[in-house]
Structure 1
Amino acid sequence: MKLERIESADPRDVLRAVRGAVLGAGPAIALGGGADSPREVPAGTGIVLTTSGSTGVPKSVALSRSALISSAMATAARIGEGHWLLPLSGGYIAGVQVMVRALVAGRDPAVLAGRFSAEAFAHAASGMRSFADGRRVPAYTSLVPAQLQTLVEAGEHDAGVAAALASFEAILVGGQRLPDALRERAIALGARPVRTYGSTETSGGCVYDGVPLDGVSVQVADGELRISGPNLADGYLDDPERTAATFVAGADGSRWYRTGDAGSVIDGTVAVTGRIDNVIISGGVNVSLDRVEHVVRELLPDAVVVAAPHERWGETPVIVTTGSADVLEAARAAVEREIGKPARPDRIVTIPDLPRLPSGKPDRRAIREIVRADG
């Protein structure tokens, strides 16, 4: 099967290509760069998504049509089917899956193009009121936490934005941990946020509010979360070694994706505690930066926690935020209470805007450079 690279960043151009690649006769498409085209890829391939993520290590994930459609249908079975709004980049799996879910439901998604803002979101949401058989078609959307924070902050003072948030049957929120405080503020405005967990390798979110979608299994092996199901990617294009190391066989021959995340599965509920490799040694004690960030973000919703060298302790957590540095002592106390003294942040670095990837996730490499420059 031929692979065609899509150069345009316009979601409408990506949508046309996704329609042919997933529901039509092809060709398969490459998004995000990295894969040479035209070229041949295995039959059944729908999309090859290349992303460096926040770590800077490029990977080209090959997703079959069946994996993408299985994920979309499982989402519909869990939250319902309807009209989707796309406020995300089409070059990342979250945006792609909004398109696939909409197309599988037989409706083109509404597209919020250009710079994201509360006003633009409210305007797009107001145009989604459609009816079928005398009933209003349910509306859905997908956001990253930073976008939800923008909408909540605006909605607390603007009834129009609050009404837009409340107009969606469900708002999928993923790409980064959603702070409890932000979730509660959204619910207070009438929104119905759903925490999602997944990755490009799982065709996007496949665990909703801690519960795997139908057909998806999650287990813990050696402290690492592993996922199995029809939504798994075929592997990494032209990288058989990485594919073999990441997609492994279970004792019964089933195929499992090694997420690289630490977590637990208790009574069928999945909890993610952070990246296995996002751990530093501070004063001889292992400290998970993800756990520190989880605590800090209850006080500073946009906070990112990274490591910085420390003359005495080796490395220490540092908070980077657009908010106030005045909460440092409160943050240190909260982290000490929840995790322990060695995990307490050393300082807060305030900046006007957090560097972000096109996916909306914080650009942690750029943030680490800012902290190093800050000294």
Structure 2
Amino acid sequence: MAELTPAQLPEAIDRALAGESILLLPTSRTGSIAEADPALWRGDGPSPALILHTSGSTGAAKAVALSSEALTTSARATERFLSGPGRWYLTLPVNHIAGFQVEMRARLAGEDPVRSTAASFTAANFAEDVRALVARGGERPRYTSLVPTQLHRILADPAATSAAADFTAILLGGSAISPALLEGAEAAGLKIVRTYGMSETAGGCVYDGRPFDGVEVSITEAGTIDLTGPVVADAYVAIAGDGALTPIDSPALVGTGAGRTIRTSDLGRIDNGVLSVLGRVDDVIVSGGENVSPHALESALLPAWQGHGIAEVLVTSVPDAEWGQRIVALVRLGEAASEAVRARSGSPTGLGEVLRGLVPPDTAGMLPREVLVVDEIPVRSIGKPDRRQAAEVARARLQMLTEP
């Protein structure tokens, strides 16, 4: 296998789409993309164009095989949904499907993206990179793909917010999106397109709640989301020490051709043809015999708390002898945090008491007992909430506060 530099990736994408090679994305953000011989494919039919890994948010990361058809169908559907082929800004890691798809869409549009060179995302670097994109001139639409954490930081910086307004559309996905964040973006004049998808669907395949042409969304009896169509992956894959790539049967990925289906662990509902994602089955917290969806609770809490300086909130839980699991919230304070919030920021129970009083009755269901202030909300590389890390942070911080 040959490792590729970012400059070599566009032509490598051409080869992979033509069936002349297989691209393998690294498992870490700092790893390199590799190009492999199609002869390493041990499955029936043509070799995949791309092997990448899931985020591992619900267990060990799994390798996923995506065909040339799945990738190009997704990229062309994005162009049709937006304003046609355009210029792209890449600020997401290419080891994740969202970042790779920016490279892919840019290649199909005939122009390399502007790639962020910053080690970590900052609003200042974003504004500088967007100026470079705008400086290219021309009438082509401008696009980027962000995760909510990045958008939070952009909206907190006037220069970055102004730069974001230069995009024809901003794809926003990767984790739950709070209504308050969308309201802030709309007020700033940003053109946000909410996306839903995953590694197994070649990235987002549902935009603003509506699926791409050819993609079918259904809700199972258990309330989980099934996605069917040509963007769905061919298979999960085992990667041997000698580089051999062997498909693995999985009950989560079934069917063939355009009838391939990924059975997700995401809860959802469909209203008038529009999909709403309600969180993951795996994330549900059972507290006092009640099922609590962290996603739903976060979406209710942040609009009530944002006006008092709470910039971000992540709901988690800790073991409790009485409740089984006790609801805890991690919050990041904004610059406009109120005096009452700052005064209680060192006391999880005190801050919890203040913030619970700001939530309208019957709005959020079971509210957090304690609220912990953190410098940064725990996230994975793509910006998805890291709920395992959040639970560890909450447990460690509360234990430290109760020790004599």
Q: How does 1:184-199 map to 2 (within 5 A)?
A: 184-199=183-198
* CA offsets 1:138-166 (integer angstroms, 9 cap, x no match): 100000000011111102xxxx3233111
| Letter paired with 2:316 | V
Q: Measure, in 2, the Cα distance between the counterparts of 1:353 and 1:121.
A: 19
Q: How does 1:95-114 map to 2 (within 5 A)?
A: 95-114=99-118
1:75 Cα offset (Å) = 0.4
1:301 Cα offset (Å) = 4.2
Aligned to 2:15: 20
- The answer (yes or no) to whether the contact 1:11–1:89 under 8 Å persists in 2 is no
Q: Measure, in 2, the Cα distance between the counterparts of 1:310 and 1:36.
A: 49
> RMSD of aligned C-alpha atoms?
2.8
1:242 Cα offset (Å) = 6.7
Q: Measure, in 1, the Cα distance between the counterparts of 2:372 and 2:58.
A: 21
Q: How does 1:318-333 map to 2 (within 5 A)?
A: 318-323=328-333, 325=345, 328-329=352-353, 331-332=355-356
Q: How does 1:285-364 map to 2 (within 5 A)?
A: 285-298=290-303, 299=305, 300-323=310-333, 325=345, 328-329=352-353, 331-332=355-356, 334=359, 337-340=362-365, 343-364=366-387
1:294 Cα offset (Å) = 2.2
Aligned to 1:91: 95
1:235 Cα offset (Å) = 1.6
* Helix, strand or coil at the partner of 1:57: coil
* Helix, strand or coil at the partner of 1:146: helix
Over 3 Å counting, the alpha-carbon distance change for 1:369 and 1:138 in structure 2 is same
Over 3 Å counting, the alpha-carbon distance change for 1:16 and 1:317 in structure 2 is farther
Q: Which moved more, 1:278-287 or 1:172-181?
A: 278-287
Q: Measure, in 2, the Cα distance between the counterparts of 1:322 and 1:101.
A: 34
- The answer (yes or no) to whether the contact 2:279–2:293 under 8 Å persists in 1 is yes
- The answer (yes or no) to whether the contact 2:194–2:208 under 8 Å persists in 1 is yes
Q: Measure, in 2, the Cα distance between the counterparts of 1:297 and 1:5.
A: 46
- The answer (yes or no) to whether the contact 1:11–1:90 under 8 Å persists in 2 is no
Using the size of structure 2 for normalisation, the TM-score is 0.81
* CA offsets 1:290-329 (integer angstroms, 9 cap, x no match): 2222223333442211121112111022111222647634
- The answer (yes or no) to whether the contact 1:32–1:51 under 8 Å persists in 2 is no
* Helix, strand or coil at the partner of 1:230: coil
1:33 Cα offset (Å) = 3.6
Over 3 Å counting, the alpha-carbon distance change for 1:288 and 1:17 in structure 2 is same
* Helix, strand or coil at the partner of 2:227: strand
Q: Measure, in 1, the Cα distance between the counterparts of 2:92 and 2:255.
A: 34
| Letter paired with 1:362 | P
- The answer (yes or no) to whether the contact 2:154–2:160 under 8 Å persists in 1 is yes
Q: Measure, in 1, the Cα distance between the counterparts of 2:2 and 2:351.
A: 47
Aligned residues: 360
Q: Measure, in 1, the Cα distance between the counterparts of 2:174 and 2:2.
A: 24
1:130 Cα offset (Å) = 6.5
Q: Measure, in 2, the Cα distance between the counterparts of 1:348 and 1:15.
A: 46
Q: Which moved more, 1:295-304 or 1:203-212?
A: 295-304
Over 3 Å counting, the alpha-carbon distance change for 1:335 and 1:72 in structure 2 is farther
Q: Measure, in 1, the Cα distance between the counterparts of 2:224 and 2:214.
A: 20
Over 3 Å counting, the alpha-carbon distance change for 1:335 and 1:196 in structure 2 is farther
Q: Which moved more, 1:46-55 or 1:238-247?
A: 238-247
Q: How does 1:271-290 map to 2 (within 5 A)?
A: 271-290=276-295
| Letter paired with 1:74 | A
* Helix, strand or coil at the partner of 1:72: helix
Q: Measure, in 1, the Cα distance between the counterparts of 2:201 and 2:260.
A: 12
Q: Measure, in 2, the Cα distance between the counterparts of 1:265 and 1:249.
A: 23
- Residue segments in structure 2 that go unaligned for 5+ positions in a row: 29-33, 240-245, 334-340, 400-404
Q: Which moved more, 1:237-246 or 1:87-96?
A: 237-246
Using the size of structure 1 for normalisation, the TM-score is 0.87
1:12 Cα offset (Å) = 4.4
* Helix, strand or coil at the partner of 1:128: helix
Larger Rg: 2
* CA offsets 1:249-300 (integer angstroms, 9 cap, x no match): 59xx933211111111122111111112211221112222222222233334
1:234 Cα offset (Å) = 0.7
Aligned to 2:76: 73
Over 3 Å counting, the alpha-carbon distance change for 1:296 and 1:339 in structure 2 is closer
Over 3 Å counting, the alpha-carbon distance change for 1:88 and 1:52 in structure 2 is closer
Aligned to 1:177: 176
Q: How does 1:151-166 map to 2 (within 5 A)?
A: 151-155=154-158, 160-166=159-165
Q: How does 1:224-263 map to 2 (within 5 A)?
A: 224-238=224-238, 243-249=249-255, 254-263=259-268
* Helix, strand or coil at the partner of 2:250: helix
1:128 Cα offset (Å) = 1.7
Identical counterparts, % of pairs: 36
* CA offsets 1:27-78 (integer angstroms, 9 cap, x no match): 2121134999777124241111123433342210111111011000000000
1:181 Cα offset (Å) = 1.3
